[in-house]
Amino acid sequence: MVVLAEASAWSYVGLAYGVTIGLLGGYTAWMLRRGRKIGRQLPAEDRTWSS
Amino acid sequence: MTSPPTGTGAGFMRLHPDGTASRGSRILGAVVLVSVVVFLFLALVASKPDESLDAQGQLVRIMYLHVPSAIACYTAFFVTAAASAMYLWKKTMGWDALAASSAEIGVIFVVITLLTGSIWGHTTWGTWWEWDPRLTSTALMFVMYLGYLALRRAIIDPVSRAKQSAVLGIIAIVNVPIVHFSVDWWRSLHQTATVASLDPKINGLRLLALFVGMIVALMLYVWLMMHRFRLAYAEAALEAKGLDLALAERRAEALADGGAVPASVEHEGVS
C-alpha cells in the first residue's frame, strides 16, 4: 500500500514538473523562433542589442 | 583564414545574429540552464520527502515549482504596472513594450502556478479546484491579464493601444496584493505563507530547494524579458515601418489623382 501511494505521489510530482517544463520550453521555443523571423525583417542597424 | 563573425559558423555566441539574442542574454541563458539542473537535482533527488506532522511526503516537491512561479508572476505584474505608469508619464513606446512583455511572461507563470496548485490540491484536498479565496483571486488575476493581452490585440492604433492597456495594467495590479493576502484576510483552504515568517514551516535541503527555485524563477523571468522585450521592440519597429509605407502609398495615390494630399496624411507624415 505504501509503495503504491509513493508511486502515485511521484506520478503527480512528475506531472507537475512535466507541465512546467513543457509550458516554459514551448513558450521559449516560440519566442526565440519568432524573434529570429521578425529580426530577419529588421535592418541590422535597428537591432541595437546585437552590436 | 578566419570566418566572418556571423552565421552558423561563427560559434555559439553568435549562432543567430538576426534573432533577439545578445552576448549578455546568452551568458545569462547559460547560467539559467546550469541553475535549472542544480534546482532539479535539489528538488527531485537531494531533498527528502516531508515527514513532519502535516506531512506532504513526496508532494512537497510540487511546492518548489508552485511558490517560485507565483513569486515570478507577482514580479512580472508589478513590472507591468510600473512600466504602464512610466508610459503614461513619458509617452515613449519602449515602456509600453516593456509592460506588454512582462504581462505575457506573467501569464505563463500564473498558468504554471494554477496548474501545479491544482495537481497538488487533487492529491491533498481531493479536488482539482475549489472556489477558495486564494484560488478564486488567482483565477481572476489570470483572466484580467489575459484580458490585458486581448485588449492589445484588439486595438490597431499603437498610441491608443498603449494608452488603454497602460490604464488596464495599472488597474489590474490592485488584484495582486488581494491574491497574496487572501489567505490572511479570509478563511481559506489554502495554506498560509511557508517561508515569510520567523519560523518557516520547512527547513534544511527542502528550504534550500525552495530558495534556489525562487532564484531560478526570477533569473528565468529576466532572461525571458530580455528576449520578449527585444521581440516587442522589433515588432513595433516593423509596424511603424509598415505604417510609414502605407502613408507614402496614400500620399502617392492622392498626388497621382491630381488632388491635394489629405490633411490627415500630411499631418501624420510630418510627425
How distant is the alpha carbon of residue B120 from its chain centre? 23
Q: Please give the backbone phi and psi of residue B50, each rounded to the nearest 5 degrees, phi first.
A: -75, 120
CB B67 within 8 A of CB B93: no
End-to-end CA distance of chain A: 61
Residue B146: pLDDT over 80? yes
Where does the pLDDT of residue B12 fall: very low under 50, low under 70, confident under 90, or very high at 90 and above?
very low
pTM summary value: 0.84
pLDDT in tens, B186-239: 777 777 666 555 556 677 888 899 999 999 999 999 999 999 999 998 888 888
Output the pLDDT for position A8.
85
For B106, name the nearest residue in chain A, comparing CA atoms only. A24
Residue A26 pLDDT: 97
Mean pLDDT of all residues in chain B?
85
> Residue ranges of the domains in chain B?
23-46+58-254
- B20/A32 touch (CB, cutoff 8 Å), yes or no: yes
Task: Give ipTM to 2 decimals.
Answer: 0.89
At B26-40, the pLDDT tens digits run 999 999 999 999 999
Q: Give the whole-angstrom CA distance, residue B230 versus residue B233.
A: 5
pLDDT band at B21 (very low <50, low <70, confident <90, very high): confident
Is the pLDDT score of B270 beyond 70? Answer: no
What is the separation, in whole angstroms, between the first and last Cα of chain B? Answer: 48
| B2 phi-psi bin (left φ>0, alpha ψ -120 to 50, beta other) | beta
The 10s digit of each residue's pLDDT in B56-100 is: 788 999 999 999 999 999 999 999 999 999 999 999 999 999 999
Residue A4 forms contact with B (CB below 8 Å): no
> Does residue A29 belong to the interface with chain B, where contact is any CB pair within 8 Å?
no
CB-closest option in A13, A23, A46 to B237: A46
Instruction: Supply B57's cell numbers.
Output: 511526503
Q: What is the pLDDT of residue A14?
A: 96
Residue with cell 519560523: B199
pLDDT given for residue B264 in this prediction: 54
Q: Do B58 and A6 touch (CB under 8 A)?
A: yes
Encode burial over B152-189: b for 16+ CB neighbours within 10 A, e otherwise: beeeeeeeebbbbbbebbbebbebbebbbebbeeeebe
CB contact under 8 A, A16 and B22: no
Cβ-Cβ contacts under 8 Å, A38 against chain B: 231, 234-235, 238
pLDDT at residue B269 in the model:
40
pLDDT for A1-39, tens place per residue?
556 666 788 999 999 999 999 999 999 999 999 998 888
For residue B2, what pLDDT band results from cuts at 50, 70 and 90?
A: very low
